[in-house]
Amino acid sequence: MYNLKKLAFLSVVFITTACATNIHRNDTDADPYENINRKIFAFNDNVYENVFFPIAKGYRKVTTPFIRERVNSFIANIDEPISAVNHLLQLEPLAALKNITRIAINSTLGLAGTFDVAQGWGLPPEETTFNQTMASWCVADGPYVVLPFLGGRNIRGTVGMAVDAVADPVFWATYHDANISAKIQYPYAALKYTAKAENYMDLYNDFKKNSVDFYATMRSAYLQSQKQLKCRFAPEETTASYDFDFDEEWEE
């Protein structure tokens, strides 16, 4: 497991260093693999409707909104270090400090993060991802792809998702012991993605119900969200100067 995580990390670092500009294209140009993407999208939709969402509905049926809110808060608290690291990479130390402060408060007074005490104290969550980090450093979007089970995103978003997965605090806290890792990581992953499916199930169904072309609607929604990410640290362009100040020399 550790070697796979390490290999994934080295792979995404290699990919990210290969990009240097921020390019936003229209939906059609951004989706050169539309034919295969649509097939994977249809496969994913079938899996969601017949596997993920029934599990999410069962989860919703046996829990109350109060319990689900506690679970969501607990998961968000575990993911908070990822935001802290990405804020540092985005040269936002104050935002990273806020993440760290939220972790300290919610992990203690918030009963292991099940209550967001920090938000009540004027420290609302500021989530960010490695995809946003790369966007801030002007890494190109890349083409839109649909991944089995994981849905659609551009190449930069795919790399960002992989890096954030590698940075998962649960993995780093348990990877040294295979027995502990299996007993903690898999149940936690099941809880996390069940909660995520429950959170997005209604929105997904609304999009599906009100779309003439569901695939195009979901693609457009994702690409529009990516266009909101700003390039903030563009490398300075240097151009050769051909001004030899001939006028000043002749004046002398």
| Residue 177, pLDDT above cutoff 90 | no
- Do the Cβ atoms of 181 and 175 come closer than 8 Å? yes
Residue 122: predicted pLDDT: 96
- Among the residue ranges 72-81, 146-155, 173-182, 189-198, the one predicted with the least confidence is 173-182
- Do the Cβ atoms of 220 and 24 come closer than 8 Å? no
* Confidence bin at 180 (pLDDT 50/70/90): confident
Residue 201: predicted pLDDT: 97
* Confidence bin at 14 (pLDDT 50/70/90): very low
- Do the Cβ atoms of 233 and 136 come closer than 8 Å? yes
Residue 13: predicted pLDDT: 45
DSSP 83-100: HHHHHHHTT-HHHHHHHH
- Do the Cβ atoms of 74 and 106 come closer than 8 Å? no
Between CA 197 and CA 54 the distance in angstroms is: 10
| Residue 192, pLDDT above cutoff 50 | yes
- Do the Cβ atoms of 18 and 136 come closer than 8 Å? no
What mean pLDDT value characterizes the chain?
A: 87
- Taking Cα atoms as reference points, which of 136, 142, 137 lies closest to residue 228? 136
pLDDT tens readout for residues 58-70: 999 999 999 999 9
Sorted by sequence, the CB contacts under 8 Å of residue 6 that are 6+ apart come out as none
Cα 138 to chain centroid distance, Å, stands at: 16
| Residue 167, pLDDT above cutoff 90 | yes
- Do the Cβ atoms of 31 and 219 come closer than 8 Å? yes
Between CA 216 and CA 218 the distance in angstroms is: 6
pLDDT tens readout for residues 88-117: 999 999 999 999 999 999 999 999 999 999
Between CA 42 and CA 209 the distance in angstroms is: 15
| Residue 81, pLDDT above cutoff 80 | yes
3-state secondary structure of 146: strand
Q: What does the block give as tokens for 13?
A: 């670092």
- When comparing pLDDT for 6 and 39, which is higher? 39
Q: Name the percent of the chain lying above pLDDT 90.
A: 75
Residue 182: predicted pLDDT: 83
Between CA 188 and CA 198 the distance in angstroms is: 15
* Confidence bin at 10 (pLDDT 50/70/90): very low
Between CA 135 and CA 96 the distance in angstroms is: 18
Between CA 16 and CA 22 the distance in angstroms is: 12
> How many CB atoms are located within 10 Å of the residue 2 CB?
11
Residue 246: predicted pLDDT: 43
